[in-house]
Structures are given as C-alpha cells and as structure tokens.
Amino acid sequence: MHYTPAPPDPKAPPVRINLLSDTQTKPTPAMREAMAKAEVGDEQVGDDPTTNELNARVADLLGKEAAVFMPSGTMCNVAATLAYCRPGDEILAHATAHIIAREGGAHAALGGFQITPLPGDDGQFAPETFRAALHPRTRYQPLQVLVSVEQTANIGGGTIWKKAALDEIVRIAKAHGLATHMDGARLLNATVASGISPRDMTAGWDSAWIDFSKGLGAPIGGAIAGSRAFIDDVWRWKQRLGGSMRQSGVAAAACIHALAHHVERLADDHANARALARGLSQINGVEVQAPETNLVFFKPDGAGVAGDRMVAELRKRGVMLAMMDGRIRACTHLDVTAAMIDEAIGHVRDIVRAA
C-alpha cells in the first residue's frame, strides 16, 4: 500500500494536529460565506455563472483555450486519458505517478490503456529516459500516444519538476507525435515555490489541471484546461463518468475564493514543512528528505522506532500522519500552524527518547 493512515481507534484522542494530507483542510468562514452567496444555475446546460467564471479563470491562469470544472483530480486524469487514447494505446509516466499508483487502475479498467512506468529519482524521470522508452511505430507494439508528469511529484517527496526538463519532454513528445498531460494536483505549490507562473510552467503542455481540494483549501473539485476541442472531448467523458453536475456554482465559488486568497499563502506551508524537516533532522537516527514544497518524508528506523509504530504513537497524542512507500509522510496545509509544527517535533523527540 502506498498510503496507509492509522486505522480508526475509538479510544484514540481527537486529532489536534492533522498532517495526514492537505486534503484534510476545512473551508474557512470566508470561503463558506462565498459558497452561500454563489449565483448558480444548471452546469450541464452551461447556465451556472459561477462555474463558468471559474473555468474562464483557470483557462487564463494556465494559458489554455478552455477549461472544465471536475468533481476530483482523479476524474481530471481519467477523463484526459480517455479523451486522448483508445484501447490498447500506451501512456508513459513515472513509476510512482498518481495515474499508476493511486487511481485504482481506472485507466486500464475504463480505457484499456497500457501505462509504461519510467524510472527516476524523486518521482521524476529524465528527458533522456523518456526518449529511450520511445519505440518505432509498428503493428507489433502499442501505439504510444501520451506522456504524463505529476507536478509536484507526491511520492517523490513533493519535488518540483524543473522548467527545463518539462520543456525538453514536450519537445521530445512533439517530435514523436505524442500528446502531453500535466497532473497538476499540487501545481500551484510548485509555482509558488519556484517563482514560475502557472502559465509558464504549463506552456507547451496540451493539457494541465489544478486541484482545489488540497493546499487551496476548497472542499471539492479540480479544473482541467486545454484546447477547446480537447475540453469538448473531456466534457463528453465527464458526462459518461457521472461527473456532470447541476448547481455546481456552490462548489465553484469555494475554488474562486481559493484562487483569490489561498495561493500566495502556500509559501507559509512550505516554510512550515522546512521547519518540520529541520526539527526532525536534529533528532538522532531520524532520516529526513529535504522538502521542496509542503511534503516532508522521514524514517525514524535509525532511532529504533519503526515507521508504523511512530505513526501509531503519534496518533495516541493527537497527531495524524501517514505511511507511504515505507516512509512517514507529513503534509503541511492551511490548517497547520507553526506552533503545531513545534509540538509535533516535540512528540517525535519524546517517542524516540522513550525507545
């Protein structure tokens, strides 16, 4: 399992410090007010003005012709691959990418696609690795149609794909007739940390999407952008998958509020992640991957505490984290304060000392 939160325990204390994921954020009072006041209509027939506004904002933000609001980021990915590919086609992505590791085999189950996992450190493959995986178009091998990257790379440690690498992957893909797709679940974390605008970060990519239910703090939703023809195809798959909504403006209003108020503050999450990593690294035997954004991966095994035991002991103290690929993942977000970070470090230190 890539993602194993502590099992529910009725005797466990209430969660006071939730570092499980940035999906754990709760809508702020101001966001709830925006949702309550949202002007709405029927999204399916294009009559929801708030959803239409959100789509226009995302298309402009990412420098694409059009965008469509979706219930989830996973549906963004699934609808995209269904729009690009036909049964038997091949998609290339990193071995730990969300479309391989965290979407329940949807791309194979629904589309019959083959996803070829590419190796590479920190959740990223090198452009030359991508080039080496390409093969001549013959009837003996699947048609290679799409390359996908995940920005940031979650299981890789929340690492940021460098712009030069993204541009080179696009260049190679276009030279070989492949479409390009960016899973932007934490794209805005990458742009805030790097100082590169979302439009520049996604330049050249045929499609890209952003998630509102993670660091941006909305309760639901993502939006995918691309050419008008591509978005028309995605809309058809959204309908087929049951993702087409009615008065979706209530949810879209939360996303608009997030774009207006919760993007620049992602830098606070990154600062808290660095503080957490710094504090953990000062505990003897705790191995920490230096964070680039809001994800901190660490292993306490060298301190004599197995990762799953550390997670369980922290849960007893009201701190929630997750095991992911043999490491502990802590995720900072807008509901985590600097004081909570200090307290969490203290709990880890106490557990190590007790061991």
CATH number of the domain bearing residue 322:
3.90.1150.10
My answer on whether omega of the bond before 138 falls inside 30° of 0, hence cis, is no
Using 50, 70 and 90 to split pLDDT, how confident is the model at 8? low
Q: Is residue 337 part of a domain?
A: yes
Residue numbers of the domain that contains 113: 38-261
What's the whole-number mean pLDDT along residues 173-184? Answer: 98
Give yes or no: residues 157 and 306 share one domain: no
Residue 7, pLDDT score = 54
Q: Is the pLDDT of residue 177 over 60?
A: yes
Give yes or no: residues 234 and 273 share one domain: no
Quick one: 80 exposed, middle or buried, by C-beta within 10 A (0-12, 13-18, 19+)? buried
* Total Cβ atoms within 10 A of residue 256: 22
Quick: pLDDT tens for 40-56.
999 999 999 999 999 99
- Sign of torsion, CA 218 341 123 112? negative
Give yes or no: residues 10 and 130 share one domain: no
Give yes or no: residues 232 and 274 share one domain: no
Contact 121, 115 (CB under 8 A): no
Using 50, 70 and 90 to split pLDDT, how confident is the model at 268? very high
Give yes or no: residues 254 and 302 share one domain: no
Single out the residue of 138, 127, 116 nearest to residue 172, CA to CA: 127
Residue 265, pLDDT score = 98
Residue 2, pLDDT score = 43
Give yes or no: residues 144 and 252 share one domain: yes
Give yes or no: residues 269 and 322 share one domain: yes
What's the whole-number mean pLDDT along residues 9-27? Answer: 91
Q: Is residue 271 part of a domain?
A: yes
Residue 12, pLDDT score = 80
Q: What 3-state class would DSSP assign to 49?
A: helix
The last residue of one of the domains, among 221, 239, 261, is 261
Quick: pLDDT tens for 287-334.
999 999 999 999 999 999 999 999 999 999 999 999 998 999 999 999
Domain at 195, CATH number: 3.40.640.10
Quick: pLDDT tens for 248-258.
999 999 999 99
Q: Is residue 31 part of a domain?
A: no
Residue 129, pLDDT score = 98
What's the whole-number mean pLDDT along residues 256-267? Answer: 98
The last residue of one of the domains, among 197, 230, 261, is 261
Q: Is residue 143 part of a domain?
A: yes
Using 50, 70 and 90 to split pLDDT, how confident is the model at 270? very high
Give yes or no: residues 345 and 272 share one domain: yes
Place of tokens 């996908």: 148
- The average confidence (pLDDT) of the chain is 96
Q: Rounded distance, CA 319 to CA 96, Å?
A: 26
The last residue of one of the domains, among 221, 243, 261, is 261
Q: Is the pLDDT of residue 216 over 50?
A: yes
Q: Is residue 256 part of a domain?
A: yes
**Residue positions counted in the chain:** 355
Using 50, 70 and 90 to split pLDDT, how confident is the model at 5? low
Q: Is residue 122 part of a domain?
A: yes
- % of the chain beyond a pLDDT of 70: 97
Q: Is residue 33 part of a domain?
A: no
Q: Is residue 32 part of a domain?
A: no
DSSP 77-131: HHHHHHHH--TT-EEEEETT-HHHHSSTTHHHHHH--EEEEEP-GGG---HHHHH
- Predicted structure pTM score: 0.95
Give yes or no: residues 97 and 119 share one domain: yes
Q: What's the structural domain count of the chain?
A: 2
